[in-house]
């Protein structure tokens, strides 16, 4: 009887967790990818973030709680990995596998790829506080309050830092 | 361009950036733009740059997508992480099993030792054989009782002097 109940609990837990992964996987992956710029690393970090969430799932059953927690842990894991990779930072070209780049011709695509690579480099040179806000804000489905939760700063600070980051980029991206 | 004009334009650099970013042009900047072709040109360039930046920025994060089987892999990894924990006995239980096993082996060894070491009465036939073996003498033992045995005993050993060997005269030798 107890075994049956335990099995039922486990199934319920897995089903609930599966639903949460479906809701959050794209955003979590983009958080990691925005920082790491490498598809394989981003997938590994995202998977690790979800595994950690699974271990804590009993206390993260609420959707909002899960979302905030997994965003934060993915961001931290990605930053940690980036520190490790910084010396041998390898970026891949898989960015064009999806998105608007698909509709443009080869020459434009190549030019856009170069621009994107330059933009990544310029983002890397931003002051850390501005860079972190920007890297999180460019993720689809992340508003100022989400970013504020991850960085543990007020939403107003997020907006002002984001503005400052954009201004710096506008100045250097000639 | 005159030096005074250059200085005048330099002070509009930041308002131009702000205007390009926000899309809102303040009145004083608007007045300057209507009178300054260089700043107007710069403003248009900044607006174009901002549009390009807005198009590119999302691609930094959203330029790739997770693989289609990402969720399946996460769930498999989560189940794999959970499975051994559920199936594996607790460390205390494992230690308990180990202790019981050690005790069982010790009990078996003790029992065997006690059984093999216990003094059971020896069968009569076996006892007689053992006595026979104790009384057995090698065939060469007979030489020890021959007359030559005396000679063997009186002959000096290696390294001994003959002087110490008692010599017997012929008379003494005769009975």
Sorted by where each starts, the structural domains of chain A and their CATH numbers stand as 1-88 (1.10.1740.10), 105-174 (1.10.10.10)
Dihedral sign for Cα B47, B49, B55, B58, please: negative
Distance CA A132, CA A151 (A): 8
Q: Does the residue B112 lie in any domain?
A: no
pLDDT greater than 90 at residue B27: yes
Range of the domain at B16: 3-62
Range A19-41 average pLDDT: 94
Provide the pLDDT for residue A1.
55
- Using a CB-CB cut-off of 8 Å, the residues of chain B touching A74 are none
CA angle B171-B173-B175, nearest 5°?
A: 85
pLDDT greater than 80 at residue A128: yes
- Using a CB-CB cut-off of 8 Å, the residues of chain A touching B78 are 14, 17, 50-51, 54
| Chain A residue with Cα closest to B51 | A170
Range A105-125 average pLDDT: 86
Kindly state the percentage of chain B with pLDDT values over 70. Answer: 65
Q: Does the residue B129 lie in any domain?
A: no
Provide the pLDDT for residue B170.
66
Worst-scoring range by mean pLDDT, A138-152, B32-46, B69-83?
A: B69-83
Max CA pair span of chain A: 70
Instruction: Place A6 in a pLDDT band, splitting at 50, 70 and 90.
Output: low
Range A48-67 average pLDDT: 92
pLDDT greater than 80 at residue B162: no
Long-range contact pairs involving A36-39 (C-beta distance under 8 Å, separation at least 24): A36/A78, A36/A81, A36/A82, A36/A85, A37/A89, A37/A91, A37/A92, A37/A95, A37/A120, A37/B60, A38/A85, A38/A90, A38/A91, A38/A92, A39/A92, A39/A94, A39/A97, A39/B64
Range B104-118 average pLDDT: 77
Q: Does the residue B10 lie in any domain?
A: yes
Return the higher-pLDDT residue of A2 and A126: A126
Provide the pLDDT for residue A101.
41
Instruction: Place B1 in a pLDDT band, splitting at 50, 70 and 90.
Output: very low
Q: Does the residue B120 lie in any domain?
A: no
pLDDT greater than 70 at residue A156: yes
Range B144-152 average pLDDT: 61
Distance CA B61, CA A1 (A): 49
Provide the pLDDT for residue B133.
80
| Chain B residue with Cα closest to A18 | B75
Instruction: Place A11 in a pLDDT band, splitting at 50, 70 and 90.
Output: confident
Instruction: Place A95 in a pLDDT band, splitting at 50, 70 and 90.
Output: very low
Distance CA B62, CA A33 (A): 8
Instruction: Place A49 in a pLDDT band, splitting at 50, 70 and 90.
Output: very high
A17 with B86: Cβ contact below 8 A:
no
CB B81 within 8 A of CB A54: yes
Domains held by chain B: number: 1
Q: Map tokens 């959050």 to a residue.
A: A24
A30 with B75: Cβ contact below 8 A:
no
Q: Does the residue B8 lie in any domain?
A: yes
CB A12 within 8 A of CB A61: no
Q: Dihedrals φ, ψ of B31, to 5°?
A: -65, -40
Give the distance from residue A43's alpha carbon to the nearest chain B alpha carbon, in angstroms.
7
**Chain A residues 146-165 within an 8 A CB cutoff of chain B:** 163
- Using a CB-CB cut-off of 8 Å, the residues of chain A touching B21 are 163, 166-167, 170
Probe site for chain B from A11, A15, A30, A132 (most B CB atoms < 10 A): A30
Provide the pLDDT for residue B62.
86
DSSP conformational letter for B50: H
Q: Does the residue B104 lie in any domain?
A: no
DSSP conformational letter for A94: G
Distance CA A98, CA B68 (A): 13
Instruction: Place A112 in a pLDDT band, splitting at 50, 70 and 90.
Output: confident
Range B93-104 average pLDDT: 79
Q: A97: Cβ–Cβ under 8 A, 6 or more apart, which residues?
A: A39, B63, B64, B65
Q: Does the residue B24 lie in any domain?
A: yes
Worst-scoring range by mean pLDDT, A95-99, A158-162, B6-10?
A: A95-99
Provide the pLDDT for residue A168.
95
Kindly state the percentage of chain A with pLDDT values over 90. Answer: 63
């Amino acid at each position: 009887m107890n075994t049956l109940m335990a099995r039922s609990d486990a199934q319920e837990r897995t089903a609930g967790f599966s639903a949460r992964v479906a809701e959050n996987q794209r955003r979590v992956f983009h958080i990691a990818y925005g920082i790491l710029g490498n598809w394989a690393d981003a997938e590994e970090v995202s998977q690790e973030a979800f595994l950690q969430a699974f271990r804590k799932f009993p206390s993260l059953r609420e959707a909002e709680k899960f979302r905030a927690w997994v965003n934060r842990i993915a961001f931290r894991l990605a930053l940690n990995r980036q520190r490790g990779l910084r010396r041998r930072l390898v970026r891949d070209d898989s960015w064009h596998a999806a998105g608007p780049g698909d509709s443009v011709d080869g020459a434009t695509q190549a030019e856009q790829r170069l621009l994107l690579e330059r933009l990544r480099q310029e983002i890397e040179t931003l002051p850390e506080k501005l860079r972190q806000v920007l890297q999180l804000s460019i993720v689809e489905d992340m508003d100022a309050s989400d970013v504020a939760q991850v960085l543990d700063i007020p939403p107003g600070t997020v907006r002002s830092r984001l503005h400052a980051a954009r201004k710096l980029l506008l100045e250097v991206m000639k | 361009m005159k030096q005074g004009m250059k200085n005048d334009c330099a002070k509009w650099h930041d308002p131009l950036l702000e205007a390009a970013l926000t899309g809102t042009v303040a009145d004083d900047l608007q007045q300057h733009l209507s009178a300054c072709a260089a700043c107007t040109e710069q403003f248009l360039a900044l607006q174009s740059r901002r549009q390009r930046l807005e198009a590119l920025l999302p691609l930094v994060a959203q330029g790739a997508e997770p693989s289609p089987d990402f969720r399946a892999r996460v769930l498999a990894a989560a189940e794999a992480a959970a499975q051994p924990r559920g199936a594996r006995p607790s460390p205390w239980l494992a230690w308990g099993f180990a202790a019981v096993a050690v005790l069982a082996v010790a009990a078996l060894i003790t029992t065997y030792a006690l059984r093999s070491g216990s003094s059971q009465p020896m069968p009569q036939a076996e006892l007689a054989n053992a006595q026979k073996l104790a009384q057995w003498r090698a065939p060469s033992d007979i030489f020890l009782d021959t007359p030559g045995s005396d000679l063997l005993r009186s002959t000096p050993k290696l390294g001994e002097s003959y002087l110490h060997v008692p010599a017997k005269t012929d008379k003494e030798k005769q009975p």
